Structure 1
Amino acid sequence: MNKTGRSAGEQAIWISLISNMFLTGIKIAVGALAGSQVLVADGVHNAGDVIATIAALASTKVANRPKDESHMYGHGKAEVIGSAIVAVIMIIAAFFIAYHAVLSISHPASKPSLIALIAAAVSLIWKQWLYIYCNRLGRSIKSKSLMATAHDHLADVYASIAAVAGIGLALIGSWLDIAVLSYGDPVAGIIVSYFVIRLAYHMGKDAIDILMEKSVSVEQIRDYEALILTVPEVKRIDRLRAREFGQYIMLDVRVGIPAQLTIQEGHDIIRKIKAAIMHENADVEEVLVHLNPWYENEQPEGTKHEGAKPDGMNPEA
């Protein structure tokens, strides 16, 4: 990620933090004055978002630190740790919403308020904009922590939809004297909590996969193979492995080149392979290349050794 991308990412997280703090205060204050339980619960949920956004901001700052003697591969995984923290906070918030909704069903419904509906609607619109903004920017600069913040905003959109629907149904029930509609608020809250938990689960799983250095997709491996084979001197790919490292990808390549080539020629081939991959893939941080000797009586050019795994790995090479 370049300096401009880092600056834009931090700015987006700061906007998210200030927005969450503002919405927390508004929802809790209006909810308390209007007697809206769902709005107060949504405000407490936003208070959790403040903590999550601070975690995302801190992890982004750590991830953007340059390499040092203790962290020679950089600090990219800090963003992934931040997204895992956000996922945990989202799950806790979802259980809080569900618990609060169940309690609300067991008690007499409170009188709905139009001002509470307006506050929930404003929150919904603002959170939807924040989600679109952070999601687009996060994908553009490949920031895990910003994507986690975007997913957190999406969970808030779901919660705000529930608040708007619940308060709206309660108002309609009050106007039409339909008592059962007054419980639309807590029922919607339970449904939304499920979607928030599901979203947080997938986000947390992705973070764990990266921390465990899961391999990239087979499709990406095939793309890297095609780029490597554009280097004329490469006669065979013996092994190709790639893993995510925070916002970057690290590659480990073993290729066969004519055995009679000199060390200098081999060095130049390594530079060509790196350039071929990194020119087309800005997210590739490092390409480690090992050269194996290739003889004319071996397998045809551009093939892998027999028995190579789908990811191009051959432990014997």
Structure 2
Amino acid sequence: MTSRHPSRLLAIWISLISNIALTALKITVGLLFASPVLVADGVHNAGDIIATVAALTSSMVSKKPADEDHPYGHGKAEVVASALVAIILAAAALWIGYQSILSLTEPPESERSLLPLVAAFISLVWKLALYLYTIRVGRAAKSKSVLATAYDHLADVYASLAAVIGIGIAILGDRLDWSWAAYGDPIAGIIVSLLVLKLAYEMGTEAVDILMEHNIPVEKLGAYERLIASLDDIKRIDRVRAREHGHYVIVDVRVGVPSHYTIQQGHDIGREIKRRIMESDPDVVEVLVHLNPWNEGE
């Protein structure tokens, strides 16, 4: 399944190079022109570099086939990377919030340049394009690491949008002599921190659910059960479970078949169950079938 979507590695490489460039741009401009929200956003981007490297590494590891030590494959490597991205996002959100609150206690700069606004706007457009690109690739490849990278770009879109608004208000306040507008920059930073923290929580919750082997949606389980029940030889469905294993799904089925069936008949039933489920859902890469004896009158 992973070989069908080589573009996911390209998406992560593009994200990595973009994050390096944007980090340098925002931190440099933010420090030179004393823009707290731009500096904080640049630090956030620095964390993104670490997250993107983790996503790139995990994406390469997850492509490895199953082996003796990892019989179910390496798909959860991407989930681990997704959890790491969530942690980095949460840390970045706290950093942005702290720096913004600190800026509220300091006197505002007397003059502001348009360059921080230009840098923030470039970041906004760039990150929006990256988000749209990586979310499309991530969904097509069912790649948790690429999706995590996409949501990381989305957090940056929020941050850059808030920076554009905050810096824009501060510059407008300078022109119109609005004293309160001087604090638009740090207030925008606080708003950004809350948005990024919310995104980190949602990503982290999803990653933990997968690592804890939370069952897939009941709608999918119901579809599997209907496929199994349509087979004439199936007399009872004892259990159907499924779990995400990164970018693919593993299904566990227990069914009752007539107790007088031969091993060959049971084998054929198991293969048919596996074939039907895998053909109906391309995300499924393995179906484990256990047959229980069924007797007339049960």
- TM-score normalised per structure 1: 0.91
- Deviation (angstroms), 1:103: 0.8
SS of 1:169's equivalent in the other structure is helix
Distance in structure 1 (CA, Å) of the matches to 2:40 and 2:167: 13
The count of corresponding residues between Structure 1 and Structure 2 is 297
1:62 aligns with 2:61: yes
Q: Are the aligned partners of 2:143 and 2:247 in contact in 1 as well (CA < 8 Å)?
A: yes
Cα distance between partner residues in 1 of 2:259 and 2:68: 36
Shift of 1:32: 2.6
Please list every run of at least 4 consecutive aligned residues from structure 1 whose deviation after the TM superposition is greater than 6 angstroms. Answer: none
* Cα distance in 2, alignment partners of residues 56 and 2 from structure 1: 15
Structure 1 residues 241 and 4, CA, compared in 2 at 3 Å: closer, same or farther?
A: closer
Residues 32-87 of structure 1 show CA distances to partners (whole Å, capped at 9, x for unaligned) of 33332321221111111111111111111111112222111111111111111111
Is 229-238 or 265-274 further displaced after alignment?
229-238
Match of 1:306 in 2: none
Secondary structure of the 1:256 match is strand
The answer as to whether partners of 1:27 and 1:119 remain within 8 angstroms in 2 is yes
Report if aligned partners of 1:239, 1:253 keep a CA contact under 8 Å in 2.
yes
Decide whether the 8 Å contact of 1:113 with 1:167 is kept in 2.
Answer: no
> Equivalent residue for 2:33?
34
Corresponding residue for 2:7?
8
Opposite residue 130 of structure 2, the aligned amino acid is: L
CA displacement, residues 201-247 of structure 1 (integer Å, 9 cap, x when unaligned): 11011111111111112211111101112222212211111112222
Note if 1:123 corresponds to 2:123: yes
Q: Distance in 1 between matches of 2:91 and 2:272?
A: 49
Q: Aligned-pair distance for 1:259? A: 2.6
- The 5-angstrom pairing of residues 129-140 of structure 1 reads 129-140=129-140
Matching residue of 1:23:
22
Residues 36 and 186 in structure 2, CA contact (< 8 A), matched pair in contact too:
no
Determine if contact 1:83/1:145 at 8 Å carries over to the other structure. Answer: yes
Equivalent positions of 1:158-197 (< 5 A) are 158-197=158-197
User: 3-state SS of the aligned residue for 1:246?
Assistant: coil
Contact 1:36–1:113 at 8 Å: present in 2 too?
no
Give the AA of the match of 1:176: L
Structure 1 residue 261 displacement after superposition: 2.3
Q: 2: distance between equivalents of 1:159 and 1:42?
A: 6
Superimposed CA distance per residue, residues 280-316 of structure 1 (whole angstroms, 9 cap, x where no aligned partner):
1111121111112223322xxxxxxxxxxxxxxxxxx
Q: Where does residue 75 of structure 2 map in the other structure?
A: 76
Matching residue of 2:280: 280
Cα distance, 1:217–1:4 mapped onto 2, change above 3 Å? closer
Q: Describe the SS at the equivalent of 1:285.
A: strand
Structure 2 counterpart of 1:230: 230
* Structure 2: segments with no counterpart, 5+ residues: none
Q: CA RMSD in A?
A: 1.2
The separation in 2 between residues aligned to 1:37 and 1:238, in whole angstroms, is: 59
1:27 shift after superposition:
1.1
Match of 2:240 in 1: 240
Q: Is the 8 A contact 1:76 1:248 kept in 2?
A: yes
Q: How far apart, in 2, do the equivalents of 1:112 and 1:231 lie? A: 73
Q: Which amino acid aligns with 1:39?
A: L
Secondary structure of the corresponding residue to residue 260 of structure 1: coil
User: Within 1, Cα distance between the matches of 2:280 and 2:141?
Assistant: 15
Alignment of 1:250 onto 2:257: no
Q: For the residues of structure 2 that align with 1:87 and 1:270, how far apart are their CA atoms? A: 40
Q: Distance in 1 between matches of 2:210 and 2:121?
A: 36
